[in-house]
Chains A and B, each alone.
Chain A
Amino acid sequence: MTAYVIRRLLQAALVLFVMSLLVFFGVYLIGDPVEIFVAADADQVERARAIAALGLDKPIWEQYTSFVQGALGGDFGRSFVFGLPAVTLILQRLPATLELAFAAVFLTVVIGLPLGLWAGLRPDGFAGRTILAGSILGFSLPTFWVGIMLILVFAVQLGWLPSNGRGPVAEFLGIKSSLFTVDGWRHLILPAINLALLNIALMIRLVRAGVREVLPLDYIRFARAKGLSWGRIVGVHVMKNIMLPVVTVLGLELGAVIAFAVVTESIFNWPGMGKLIIDSIQRLDRPVVVAYLMVTVAIVIFINLVVDVVYSLLDPRIRLKDLDH
């Protein structure tokens, strides 16, 4: 077990290293930030000063080694635009993104799980067919367009909910979140639904397939023969056996949701790190782009690692050797 975790950690470190090379040298090759930060009529001296201030006068490998040294200590350089350390910028925005991501995962569970169960238990009924058709539609709906349509209907036409930004933040148990204010909820609902939609569709299909696979098995028939109530059979015996893939996929989807938040945040002007990265790519704000990519890659690697380890703990049939073939 320990050996497995260590090997996975080493692999994670290697992936991070390759990513850092790719991202740093790749980002280095695009655009020339000096052109943006120096006035068109600047003379050579001013240009040279700007280049030196940005650290661009050193050879590229030296920039990379100082980048890695900094990155290991959590320092990705200062944003060209904000003048603040890039990591500070990312960390300032991370809570808003996490709030959105967790809200989306929560919606996925409370909506997707019951609908999936229903569709799995009654696959040929009207509701079951409708739910399945709805999940195909949910897969096909482009996230960004759904976001625009949500704004159009609920903010513009009906005027029920705000279309823009995050609500006021309150502190509870030391956690600052807009979940603790009513206006915060009003701001959160549309973006969270938008971000959750694809995952709800995925959850429905996953649970439905799981239920259909489990229902014909012997132990369900024995449970019925034993006279257990239908509610108990579904709630305990079916659920227990479909939970494993559900939990795994949910864990993996958390990473995808954090990455996909770039779209939802751009539409709803949600002040998370996804909105920051899109702005930064367009402004050629290199340190922020690099910091975002490294932080997000690290989050995804971490989540994958945790999911794999938890999976192996939950299911004694899976031997870690198989996972790491």
Chain B
Amino acid sequence: MSAAIVDDEAPWRRMVSAYAESWLAMFGLVLLVICLGLALAAPLISPQNPYALAQLDIMDGSLPPGSEASAGFRFWLGSDDQGRDMVSAILYGLRISVAVGAAATGIALAVGLAFGLIAAYAGGRIDGAIMRIVDIQLSFPAILIALILIAVLGNGIGKIVFALVTVQWAYYARTVRASAMVERRKDYVEAARGLGLSSARILFRHMLPNCLAPVIVIATVQMAHAIALEATLSFLGLGLPVTEPSLGLLIANGFQYVLSGKYWISMFPGVALLVTIVAINLVGDRLREVLNPRGPQ
């Protein structure tokens, strides 16, 4: 019993220590945890609720970083034109950006996994059809597909998530199909089939766990892409509505003040966005090296 546990844990432990060898990757992980923590705790730690209009004072508008608010606290990162504390706005914005990115990544992952596994397991025409769609979709730039969908659907939080999922599912489908094609020929699948297990059980209980490593790598990178793409669309006025101000929308709001030198309204939300994406990419980069020992890529 105990021997089995040790065997189970050994690869995990090896991966964790391999991951920890890179201080840059550890730095990324710490940064990511901080970002997620801030996003989760935003309502608890923000100096003000940036969207409770009663708490805003127009007299506090466009104050540079370090100014004192009429309510007594300090605008460490300045305030926007309506007297909104940028620290609070960024924390709330981060929360929305991360939530949308995570939702899109999670759904795209599930959809892509399902189609990829089905394609690999079914083979033949079903495989051909699914992979043809994947190939065609991946041959288009992500932003073009997002533009088409948003021109068609209009904007809103659910539609953005839908657009992000549509852009991203194909990456997972292709990756998981490739690993599943290899797994399919292995003995344990043959054995499971011999035992008379159902296709669904073989697919999701036996093959899926063995296909996860590359998918995890893709998922981290795609999460960064999803957050960046949502921010881009929101910046263009095609993303989230004004009632759901993500970091992209904050940057867009600040853009009009950049030319008059009020850099803080646009710059600091961008720094928050950048730090989040860098953190995710650092983690993803290291995961790729740890989970894919075949070489540098």
CB-contact partner of B261 in A148, A156, A281, under 8 A: A156
B23 surroundings in chain A (CB, below 8 A): none
Q: Contacting chain A: which of B45-53, B88-96, B273-281?
A: B273-281
A contact residues, range: 35 or more
Contact of B144 with A300 in the complex, beta carbons under 8 Å = yes
**Interface residue? B79 (CB, 8 A):** no
Contact of A27 with B151 in the complex, beta carbons under 8 Å = yes
Question: Which chain B residue shows the least CB distance to A282?
Answer: B237
A300 surroundings in chain B (CB, below 8 A): 139-141, 144
**Interface residue? B282 (CB, 8 A):** yes
**Distance in angstroms between the alpha carbons of A137 and B278 in the assembled complex:** 7
**Interface residue? A151 (CB, 8 A):** yes
From 256 to 305 in chain A, residues with beta carbon under 8 angstroms from any chain B beta carbon are 256, 259-260, 262-263, 266-267, 277-278, 281-282, 289, 293, 296-297, 300-301, 304
Contact of A148 with B266 in the complex, beta carbons under 8 Å = yes
B24 surroundings in chain A (CB, below 8 A): 133
**Interface residue? A306 (CB, 8 A):** no
Count residues on chain B whose CB falls below 8 Å from chain A CBs: 42
**Interface residue? B231 (CB, 8 A):** yes
Contact of B148 with A156 in the complex, beta carbons under 8 Å = no
CB-contact partner of A281 in B150, B254, B263, B266, under 8 A: B150
Contact of A263 with B235 in the complex, beta carbons under 8 Å = yes
B251 surroundings in chain A (CB, below 8 A): 144-145, 148
**Interface residue? A111 (CB, 8 A):** no
A296 surroundings in chain B (CB, below 8 A): 144
Contact of A148 with B278 in the complex, beta carbons under 8 Å = no
**Interface residue? B296 (CB, 8 A):** yes
From 195 to 237 in chain B, residues with beta carbon under 8 angstroms from any chain A beta carbon are 224, 228, 231-232, 235-237
CB-contact partner of B259 in A133, A156, A255, A297, under 8 A: A156
**Interface residue? A152 (CB, 8 A):** yes
**Interface residue? B244 (CB, 8 A):** no
**Distance in angstroms between the alpha carbons of A282 and B236 in the assembled complex:** 10
Task: Give the total number of A-B pairs whose CB atoms are below 8 A apart.
Answer: 128
**Distance in angstroms between the alpha carbons of A263 and B255 in the assembled complex:** 13
Smallest CB–CB gap between B168 and chain A, Å? Answer: 15
**Interface residue? B167 (CB, 8 A):** no
**Interface residue? A139 (CB, 8 A):** yes
B259 surroundings in chain A (CB, below 8 A): 151, 155-156, 163
A163 surroundings in chain B (CB, below 8 A): 259
From 138 to 173 in chain A, residues with beta carbon under 8 angstroms from any chain B beta carbon are 139-145, 148-149, 151-152, 155-157, 163
A277 surroundings in chain B (CB, below 8 A): 147
**Interface residue? A212 (CB, 8 A):** yes
Contact of B231 with A22 in the complex, beta carbons under 8 Å = no
Given contact pairs A142-B273, A281-B238, A293-B148, A26 touches B153 in the complex (Cβ within 8 A)? yes
**Interface residue? A13 (CB, 8 A):** no
**Interface residue? B152 (CB, 8 A):** yes
**Distance in angstroms between the alpha carbons of A252 and B38 in the assembled complex:** 38
CB-contact partner of B152 in A22, A145, A259, A263, under 8 A: A22
Smallest CB–CB gap between A102 and chain B, Å? Answer: 16
**Interface residue? B285 (CB, 8 A):** yes
**Distance in angstroms between the alpha carbons of A247 and B276 in the assembled complex:** 32
Residue contacts A-B, CB under 8 angstroms, 11 given: A145-B231, A145-B274, A149-B267, A155-B259, A156-B259, A259-B141, A263-B232, A266-B235, A281-B238, A297-B144, A304-B139
Interface residues of A (CB under 8 A from B): 11, 15, 19, 22-23, 26-27, 29-31, 133, 136-137, 139-145, 148-149, 151-152, 155-157, 163, 209, 212, 252, 255-256, 259-260, 262-263, 266-267, 277-278, 281-282, 289, 293, 296-297, 300-301, 304
Q: Which 5 A-B pairs have the closest CB atoms?
A: A26-B152, A145-B270, A256-B141, A259-B141, A259-B144
